[in-house]
A = this chain, B = another copy of it.
Amino acid sequence: MSENTSDQNIIYIGRKPVMSYVLAVITYFNTPDAKEVVLKARGRAITTAVDVAEITRRRFMDKIKVTKIDIGTEEMTGEDERTRAVSTMEITLSV
């Protein structure tokens, strides 16, 4: 879990199976004084982030709430040196 929730309780959502992120969220909220975690995703992983929030809340921890959702855009430079914009999302879960 340390690799996923290092600085400021952030879990970066990528291409792993949804349940591995759900497990990371549950593990985090089972540590003492855990109050809030932020799921960060971009591009196609945005859908996964929403799935993680919904599955955790509905199936495992009905006490947690979605307290904030932000969307944004990041400029990324690909291997061909061209920059392209990718959408980002941050979902804050709190107890």
Contacts and interface: CB of A to CB of B under 8 A. Distances in A.
Contacts of A47: 43-44, 46-47, 87
A58 B85 contact: yes
Contacts of A64: none
Contacts of A10: none
A66 to B, nearest CB: 6
B54 A71 contact: yes
Nearest to A55: B85
Contacts of A89: 50
Most buried by B among A47, A53, A87: A47
Interface of A: 43-44, 46-47, 50-51, 53-55, 58, 66, 69-73, 85, 87, 89, 91
